[in-house]
Amino acid sequence: MTIRTLLVTASPHRDEALGSRLARQIAARQGSALLVRDLVAEPLVPLTMDYARALTLRDPMPRANATLALSERLIEELESTDRLIIATPMHNFGMPAALKLWVDYVLRIHRTFAASPQGKVGLLADRATLVIVSSGGFHRAGESQQPNFLTPHLEAVLNTLGIRAPQFVYLEGLVSRRDAPETIIAEAAAALGDAWCH
């Protein structure tokens, strides 16, 4: 059976972004059918009062509205696929605004997670998930020049959806590196386990 992968991209560089290129290479190598949600080509509308009220009025059956329908469509993209790849730049030590808005549409109480006395419980099926993070500078131990709030934040979001073990791979120092894009992409692919690259 063909694997279905949802690719969520959030780079202003669109298809030229190295992270997106790596993601497409991986999907092609896996023979996976790709559903692409490009958050820059098709920006999501900011959250509306209807949406905020639907999520916070403790109403498990909120009134239909356009932003709730958009949330439903984005969640259905997750539900109709088996794997998830997020290719994102780091912007100001965290995730770009476009990706954060996607999070606010898909991480929804009573729909993709439930609140319990023990904490939030994910309601989506667990799936293999890869997050490809591109950054102009360095943020990992040893070469770290800045904090990285993106990884812990996005990991908590994915865990709360029900995705237990997202894997992260990093393309760092992209502003200063002079290596060919193919070299940088190949290095990141090599850093990934067999599960993604063979």
Ligand X SMILES: Cc1cc2nc3c(=O)[nH]c(=O)nc-3n(C[C@H](O)[C@H](O)[C@H](O)COP(=O)(O)O)c2cc1C
> Contact residues for ligand X (CB under 6 A)?
11-13, 17-19, 89-93, 134-137, 146, 174-175
Q: Output the smallest distance, CB 148 to ligand X, in A.
A: 8
CB nearer to ligand X: pick between 56 and 92: 92
Q: Output the smallest distance, CB 65 to ligand X, in A.
A: 31
Q: Which of 166, 190, 5, 133 is nearest to 81 (CA)?
A: 5
Q: Which of 167, 158, 165 is nearest to 193 (CA)?
A: 167
CB 108 within 8 A of CB 68: no
CB nearer to ligand X: pick between 93 and 167: 93
CB nearer to ligand X: pick between 54 and 171: 171
CB 76 within 8 A of CB 106: no
- 176: which DSSP letter? T
Q: Output the smallest distance, CB 2 to ligand X, in A.
A: 27
Q: Output the smallest distance, CB 172 to ligand X, in A.
A: 7
Rounded Cα gap, residues 90 and 176, in angstroms? 15
**Strands 113-116, 119-122: parallel, antiparallel or unpaired by DSSP?**
antiparallel
CB nearer to ligand X: pick between 89 and 166: 89
Q: Output the smallest distance, CB 81 to ligand X, in A.
A: 22
CB nearer to ligand X: pick between 62 and 94: 94
196 phi and psi angles, rounded to 5 deg: -100, -30
